[in-house]
Amino acid sequence: MAKRYFRLLWKPTLKTGQKINWGGMEMDVIAPITDQLAIYGYEQRSKHPGDKRIMDEKYEKGFIYGYWFSNHCLDGELGFYHLSRLTEIKEQEFKAWKRMVTP
């Protein structure tokens, strides 16, 4: 299967100093949040056999597992986004964005 690339424009609702509950822990939002965050990424299937069932269940529900990058997370992080929130893009657009934001 060819690698698929995506873009998501996310308008955060979190504010610096806001308290949130994350996984049962209360946390303070400390990162500066921009008006709109551009997230770029690509689909990544797990290489671990134990993940296959979870990956298949999420995929059937419309979620894409991938590496996701933004100007707040240049190294990328693994996670799921729903396909309805993503715009599929060409590899060239992803690479141009990475060149633009990488120091």
- 63 contacts 41 by C-beta, under 8 angstroms: no
Confirm whether 2 is domain-assigned: no
Structural domain count, the chain: 2
Do residue 49 and residue 94 come from a single domain?
Answer: yes
pLDDT of residue 16: 74
The domain in which residue 27 lies consists of 9-34
87 lies in some domain? yes
Instruction: Residue 3: name the closest of 97, 74, 67, 83 by CA.
Output: 67
Which pLDDT score is estimated for 94? 95
pLDDT recorded at residue 33: 61
| pLDDT tens sequence across 11-59 | 777 777 788 776 677 877 766 566 678 899 999 988 888 888 888 899 9
pLDDT of residue 87: 95
> 44 and 24 in one domain?
no
pLDDT grade, residue 5 (50/70/90)?
Answer: very high
**47 and 95 fall within a common domain:** yes
